[in-house]
Amino acid sequence: MVYDFLLEFIDHFGYIALFLVLCLGLIGLPIPNEVVLMTAGTLSAAGILYYPFAYLAVSLGICSAMTFSYVVGRFFIKTRLFRNMQKSPKTEHYFTISEKWFDKYGGYAIGMSLCLPFLRHITMYVAGMNKMSYRKFALYAYPSAFLWTLVYFLLGIIVKDQIIEIGTMIEHYGTILVVVLIVCLLLYLLYRSSRSKQHHKTISGRK
């Protein structure tokens, strides 16, 4: 099973494994990025990984994958492999969507595409194909990557043993489920914050 391989890989190589899996994730490794991010959060909550290092490893992995795709789109667009990829009916459809998003939303299309499993692969290529400067690409891509990573990292801390099921649902329902999960996460954090404040008030009242 692919997930078992992921856990074994992390067990052997730790933070480097998280970085490598996500670095390769946007270019075809058969492990959903969302599952890897949630796994990093779950393992951190279990005390197996250290929170800051795990989060940094997965964030840099995503940023590296995005940069790789951008560079390919910017400098290797004329290669035979790239032309063949564009001719595929499925990828051609996503290239069209990504182009429309760039026309309508500009650089914000990069952050928006992260929520959709296959479109996120294509959008980085399109950013390069459109000759977007690296400085502008970095301005939109990296903050979006760190925020998107944080959402799933925190989600992994909460869901724990339901990672596979939630990862599968995200692949099928995409943006709608992501929005629902983010709202649930925010509500949960507000609930925890409220409980913590009430607890402190109770302790202070007893004193």
Q: Could you read off the pLDDT of 93-144 as tens digits, one per residue?
A: 888 888 888 988 888 999 888 877 778 878 998 898 888 999 999 999 999 9
Q: Could you read off the pLDDT of 3-36 as tens digits, one per residue?
A: 777 788 888 888 998 998 888 764 455 677 888 8
- Rounded CA-CA distance 182/186 in Å is 6
- Rounded CA-CA distance 191/204 in Å is 20
Residue with token string 């390919």: 72
Residue 205 pLDDT level (bands cut at 50, 70, 90): low
Residue 88 pLDDT level (bands cut at 50, 70, 90): low
Beta strand segments in 8-101, E: none
- Rounded CA-CA distance 14/70 in Å is 27
Residue 154 vs residues 39, 42, 157, 191: alpha-carbon distances, Å = 10, 8, 5, 15
Q: Within 10 Å of residue 57's Cβ, how many Cβ atoms?
A: 24
Q: Is the separation of the CB atoms in 7 and 40 below 8 Å?
A: no
- Rounded CA-CA distance 157/39 in Å is 8
